[in-house]
Structure 1
């Protein structure tokens, strides 16, 4: 991929973020503690995604890629809070931040355990959970390397970042944004709020890993 095509992808991704933000800002979660907590987790995921885009635009690629891990993890936590978290965990993660509540929350489940609980829960949406599992298996080791300053970012700092790699990172991040927009719409408990999401998935298919609908697979690419 050429630098020109990368810039085109970044411009289209910025438009995608604008549309997602406009839609999400029009939503309110259902008035239930579980829905509110999941919605906040989705907002956090979208914030990380926007920050990734801004860092890439500034040429700060290592930091940008490092943020794709909390972006993905925040989405998984939102889905887990909605479908699989116990009432006790929902309450813990909804409390005001204090030293005591932070200590209790830090004893919570990691990403792997949240995915396991989602896979075991009969009410969790199997296609979405499968997408999350697949995404983790493809990208997790590299995302961890960037988050912890491992071989991947150290090597790329010396050799540089090819445009195709940055393209793959942006598309993978956009896939998580698309799923998060879907989650936020579901949390509103208004079926019509899914319509704009479906339209965005079609209109911005060129910035996603594959052309898909909200029920189709989102296949991530290796981040290296």
Structure 2
């Protein structure tokens, strides 16, 4: 998604946040708060069955990672913020898998007392991300899972996971960005990708509670806050920096 663009020509991180970054950050937080106002309407978790409750818990973990991406970016902890994008993705795709695909015994394992043995047994039943995507693809072909949701998760994985893994494992991306500086448009892109996951997260929650009204509101919010959702670096430059650099 970004490998073909020379990011060295774009603004690097310095001691002060630019006006462009502050403008984006304010819009992005407004978008997240608008989504939160919808999810806050969900009733107490005790009113849901174990599968639904497990989905809500995993989705909440994903949302927490997304908020942390923003808070870290504001403090210019960009390597850490970029690393959390992978955790946000994995929490969400596991929530989707638990809700639509996982067998009942897998779900129930998460409700056993937290011991080393129980944790190990539960985690052994969770497949890799590639297998989860295959399971979701199969369920989508059967009409169980929305095809668009699976498509977006697969695209996200293909476009961002290699880079995110480099940040998580302190690879060359992390090293180079720390050594040479982290371009502001790139961290804006990270937050936009995080917001895209958050929108999918809330759509999943709307599905769990069977709320067509919430789905419609999330779709409307995405149109209203289009600038807060994923776009490429040149688009970010045009929108927030009023400069075209390709």
Q: How high is the TM-score relative to the length of structure 2?
A: 0.81
Offset, 1:37: 0.8
Matching of residues 20-169 of structure 1 within 5 Å:
20-28=35-43, 31-107=48-124, 108-121=126-139, 122=142, 123-169=144-190
Q: CA RMSD in A?
A: 1.6
Deviation track 1:132-183 (CA, whole Å, cap 9, x = no partner) reads 1111001010111111111110111000011111111111111001111111
Equivalent in the alignment of 1:213: none
Relative to 1, partners in 2 of residues 1:13 and 1:96: Cα closer, same or farther, differing over 3 Å? Answer: farther
Equivalent in the alignment of 1:217: none
Offset, 1:128: 0.8
Distance (Å, rounded) in 2 between the aligned partners of 1:71 and 1:8: 24
Equivalent in the alignment of 1:192: 213
Equivalent in the alignment of 2:201: 180
Offset, 1:91: 1.2
What SS does the corresponding residue of 1:69 show, helix, strand or coil? helix
Equivalent in the alignment of 1:220: none
Q: How high is the TM-score relative to the length of structure 1?
A: 0.88
Offset, 1:65: 0.6
Distance (Å, rounded) in 1 between the aligned partners of 2:110 and 2:25: 34
Equivalent in the alignment of 2:240: none
Residue ranges of structure 1 left out of the alignment (5+ in a row): 211-224
Residue ranges of structure 2 left out of the alignment (5+ in a row): 1-9, 12-17, 232-246
Relative to 1, partners in 2 of residues 1:94 and 1:110: Cα closer, same or farther, differing over 3 Å? Answer: farther
Distance (Å, rounded) in 1 between the aligned partners of 2:222 and 2:113: 35
Distance (Å, rounded) in 2 between the aligned partners of 1:176 and 1:96: 30
Equivalent in the alignment of 1:205: 226
Identify which range, 68-77 or 184-193, moves more after superposition.
Answer: 184-193
Identify which range, 87-96 or 64-73, moves more after superposition.
Answer: 87-96
What SS does the corresponding residue of 1:201 show, helix, strand or coil? helix
What SS does the corresponding residue of 1:67 show, helix, strand or coil? helix
Matched, 1:8 2:26: no
